[in-house]
Amino acid sequence: MVFVWEIRRKILFFKAKLSDGEVVDIEMQVRNVPELFSRISYYSAKMLTDQIGSGGRYSSIKPVISIIVVEETLISKSEKCHNVFSMLEEEELFRFNDLQEIHVLDLSRIEKENDEKLSDWLEFINSEEEEDFVKVAKRNPVINEAFNELKVLSADKEQRIRYEARLKMQRDIWSFEDAARREGEQRRTIEIFECLEKGVSLEEAKKKFLLREKV
> CB of 95 within 8 A of CB of 88?
yes
Amino acid at 198: K
Query: How many CB atoms are closer than 10 A to CB 37?
Result: 15
Q: Enumerate the β-bridge partners of residue 106.
A: 70
pLDDT attached to residue 153? 65
Contacts 24+ apart (CB under 8 A), 31-36: 31/71, 31/72, 32/70, 32/72, 32/74, 36/74
DSSP strands (E only) in the chain:
12-17, 23-29, 64-70, 82-85, 100-106
pLDDT attached to residue 92? 95
Q: What are the φ/ψ torsions at residue 14 (nearest 5 degrees)?
A: -155, 160
Q: Which among 46, 108, 52, 121 has a CA at the least distance from the CA of 80? A: 108
Q: What is the largest CA-CA distance in the chain?
A: 110
Residue with the bigger pLDDT between 20 and 13: it is: 20
Q: Which among 85, 84, 87 has a CA at the least distance from the CA of 95? A: 87
Is the full-model pTM beyond 0.85? no
Residue with the bigger pLDDT between 7 and 133: it is: 133
Cα–Cα dist 158/171, whole Å:
20
pLDDT attached to residue 85? 96
Domain layout of the chain by residue ranges: 2-129, 168-214
Share of the chain above pLDDT 70, in %: 73
Radius of gyration of the chain (CA): 32
| 139-184 pLDDT, tens digit each | 888 888 888 877 776 666 556 666 566 666 677 667 666 766 776 7
Cα–Cα dist 24/21, whole Å:
10
> CB of 65 within 8 A of CB of 86?
no
Beta strand pairing call for 64-70 and 82-85: unpaired
Binned at pLDDT 50, 70 and 90, residue 102 comes out as very high
pLDDT at 1 over 60: no
Please report, for residues 1, 45, 161, 164, the alpha-carbon distance to residue 5 in angstroms, rounded to integers and kept in the order given. Answer: 6, 31, 17, 22
Within 8 A by CB and 6+ apart from 27, the residues are 11, 12, 13, 40, 66, 67, 68, 69
